[in-house]
């Protein structure tokens, strides 16, 4: 897909589909749309007058132009009320194009920007949001399906963005470049999450990391630790979880250097490529979805890829402990005691609380880099799904001053995040009679908090833990979010890192 600005009048743009955006109950059409309406013989104003189209949020109206203008078709997109218009409304309205792109097998698309900008944004951000909307809403995962010709994904080639002010051309160029990088990175994370666990193994994740290193060799170094390397590094938590599986565990280390003098931020991603629960086995209903338990790892790979392309002026370290969690004669058992890399011993009370067992070693490993910040991404607990549902990330941090920055980034990217407490009083529930810690709380509820408190034992740096168990997989479609792996967290983290300044 190739995005670029065009400054022709709307009626002269040669394209398969021209998208024009209209606010609800807007009394006067914007000048360029008014001109288009005139050439079309007043058809747009007629539709509005008889209320066949009202500009309601995500409403659409297709018009065939029978040669009156250079575009074959015009589609009106409703943006809703001007007072409620923000970047996510724009992204969502743009995503209503996807069914038309598919139905008419659109190759060339043009989108007119409105003069009114979304709340708290600039032209660059609007162009970026449009680009993300197009890329994210046209994502389909069809690797394993034989499709009829018309079911195959349409091949969208050129997308022209038409500014409302001609002098915004270069701003649009900048916005689409960023949007394209981010949209593509999210879809990359989605692909990783959607591949089944017999394909997306720890070795598959490692191969992806090595491919990235090849592609961006100027700024990126990748190292993979196998079992012998893990033993040398005392990463017995990761080794213990992998015991029951025939797939080799991998610890993936990605080092991105964006700017020598800049601080280092480590990104840690839970990479359980299949979570059966192990000996504490899960019920079989919906167990197939547990192939997405590596969504944190996918997020980290996508973030590093995006950072390389954006040339983010930071140093990033990606750390991914990757393994399956399966039962077998060799598997980890409830009651087993494991010595973590940090030296603390863990009584494994439930083998299904495996995420924290692999993350504890990765978080400890991160200390090597003296990071200014560590962010971990993990589908850690079912409890966060109970607490926040399927669309809100649960955020924990040992420095509450990070929350406003996270919320501000979420405002821009349209992802949702909510602060959760590292409640001290609950720490007592992690005490074990036989080891330094138990891996599940002795309290029946609040496991999202207890899981985070468990991880806190292994950090000595500014730290943000994002529990993405609810948001990383969708059983319900939303604008630009198809069912399956969502890639949620990728755009948010980039937006947050763009303005990250270490605290003293």
Pick from 66, 80, 69: which is nearest to 23 by CA?
A: 80
Member of 9, 153, 327, 382 binding ligand BES (CB under 6 A): 382
The angle that helices 295-310 and 202-215 make with each other, rounded to 10 degrees, is: 0
Determine if 352 is a binding residue for ligand BES (CB under 6 A).
yes
Count of residues that interact with Zn ion, criterion CB under 5 A: 6
356 labelled catalytic? yes
Determine if 447 is a binding residue for ligand BES (CB under 6 A).
yes
CB 294 within 8 A of CB 478: no
Please give the Cα distance from 110 to 71 (Å, whole number): 9
Looking at residue 154, what DSSP letter applies? P
Q: Which of residues 468-497 bind ligand BES (CB under 6 A)?
A: 469
Pick from 58, 19, 16: which is nearest to 156 by CA?
A: 16
CB-nearest residue to ligand BES: 382
Member of 16, 86, 168, 275 binding Zn ion (CB under 5 A): 275
CB 336 within 8 A of CB 243: no
Please give the Cα distance from 248 to 243 (Å, whole number): 9
Q: For ligand BES, give the closer residue by CB, 441 or 462.
A: 441
In the complex, least distance from residue 349 CB atom to ligand BES, rounded to whole angstroms = 8
Residues in the chain: 504
In the complex, least distance from residue 275 CB atom to Zn ion, rounded to whole angstroms = 4
Member of 176, 353, 449, 492 binding ligand BES (CB under 6 A): 353
Looking at residue 446, what DSSP letter applies? -
CB 284 within 8 A of CB 470: no
The angle that helices 403-413 and 490-498 make with each other, rounded to 10 degrees, is: 120
Binding mask 225-244 for Zn ion (x = CB under 5 A): --------------------
Count of residues that interact with ligand BES, criterion CB under 6 A: 15
Q: Which of 356, 456, 481, 491 is catalytic?
A: 356
CB 76 within 8 A of CB 63: yes
282 labelled catalytic? yes
Using the contact rule CB under 5 A, the part of the chain among 172-180, 290-298, 302-310, 451-459 near Zn ion is: 290-298
Backbone angles phi, psi at 498, to 5 degrees: -55, -35
Question: Helix, strand, or coil here: 427?
Answer: helix
Q: Which of 282, 333, 344, 498 is catalytic?
A: 282
In the complex, least distance from residue 436 CB atom to Zn ion, rounded to whole angstroms = 21
Read out DSSP for 94-148? HHTTHHHHHHTT-SEEEEEPPSSPPTT--HHHHHHHHHHHHHHHT----TT----
Determine if 432 is a binding residue for ligand BES (CB under 6 A).
no
**Cross-strand partners of 64:** 73
Binding mask 282-311 for ligand BES (x = CB under 6 A): -----------x------------------
Determine if 293 is a binding residue for Zn ion (CB under 5 A).
yes
CB 32 within 8 A of CB 110: no
Member of 80, 355, 371, 462 binding ligand BES (CB under 6 A): 355
Determine if 360 is a binding residue for ligand BES (CB under 6 A).
no
Contact partner at residue 469 from Zn ion, ligand BES, none, CB < 5 to 8 Å by partner kind? ligand BES
Residues that bind Zn ion (CB under 5 A): 272, 275, 293, 352, 354-355
Residues that bind ligand BES (CB under 6 A): 275, 293, 350, 352-355, 379, 381-383, 385, 440, 447, 469
Active site members: 282, 356
């Amino acid at each position: 897909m190739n995005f670029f600005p065009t400054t022709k009048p709307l009626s002269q743009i040669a394209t398969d589909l021209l998208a024009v955006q209209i606010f609800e109950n807007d009394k006067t059409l914007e000048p360029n749309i008014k001109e288009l309406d005139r050439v079309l013989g007043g058809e747009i104003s007629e539709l509005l007058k008889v209320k066949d189209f009202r500009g309601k949020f995500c409403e659409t109206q297709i018009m065939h132009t029978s040669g009156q203008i250079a575009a074959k078709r015009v589609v009106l997109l409703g943006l809703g009320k001007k007072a409620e218009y923000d970047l996510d409304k724009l992204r969502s309205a743009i995503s209503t194009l996807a069914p038309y792109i598919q139905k008419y097998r659109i190759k060339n698309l043009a989108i007119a920007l409105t003069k009114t900008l979304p709340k708290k944004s600039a032209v660059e951000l609007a162009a970026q949001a449009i680009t993300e909307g197009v890329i994210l809403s046209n994502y389909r995962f069809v690797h394993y399906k034989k499709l009829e010709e018309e079911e195959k994904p349409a091949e969208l080639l050129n997308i022209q963005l038409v500014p409302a002010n001609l002098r915004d051309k270069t701003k649009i160029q900048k916005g689409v470049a960023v949007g394209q990088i981010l949209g593509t990175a999210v879809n990359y994370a989605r692909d990783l999450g959607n591949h089944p666990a017999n394909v997306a193994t720890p070795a598959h994740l490692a191969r992806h990391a090595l491919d990235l290193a090849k592609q961006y060799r100027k700024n990126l170094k990748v190292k993979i630790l196998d079992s012998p390397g893990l033993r040398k590094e005392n990463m017995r938590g990761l080794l213990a979880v992998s015991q029951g599986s025939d797939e080799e565990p991998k610890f993936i280390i990605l080092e991105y250097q964006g700017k020598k003098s800049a601080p280092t931020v480590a990104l840690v991603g839970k990479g359980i490529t299949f979570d059966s629960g192990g000996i504490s086995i899960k019920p079989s209903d919906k167990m197939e979805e547990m192939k997405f338990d590596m969504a944190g790892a996918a997020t980290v790979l996508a973030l590093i890829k995006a950072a390389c392309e954006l040339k983010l002026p930071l140093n990033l370290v990606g750390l991914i402990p990757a393994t399956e969690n399966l039962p077998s004669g060799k598997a980890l058992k409830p009651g087993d005691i494991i010595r973590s890399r940090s030296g603390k011993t863990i009584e494994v009370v439930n083998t299904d609380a495996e995420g924290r067992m692999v993350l504890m070693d990765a978080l400890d490993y991160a200390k090597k880099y003296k990071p200014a910040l560590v962010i971990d991404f993990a589908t850690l607990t079912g409890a966060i799904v109970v607490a926040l549902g399927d669309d809100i990330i649960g955020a924990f941090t040992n420095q509450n001053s990070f929350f406003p920055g996270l919320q501000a980034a979420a405002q821009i990217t349209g992802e949702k995040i909510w602060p959760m407490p590292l409640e001290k009083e609950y720490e007592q529930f992690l005490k074990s009679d036989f080891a330094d810690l138990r891996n599940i709380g002795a309290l029946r509820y609040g496991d999202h908090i207890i899981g985070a408190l468990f991880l806190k034992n292994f950090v000595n740096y500014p730290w943000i833990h994002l529990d993405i168990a609810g948001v990383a997989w969708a059983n319900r479609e939303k604008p630009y979010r198809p069912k399956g792996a969502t890639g949620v967290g990728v755009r948010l983290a980039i937006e947050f890192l763009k303005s990250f300044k270490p605290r003293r």
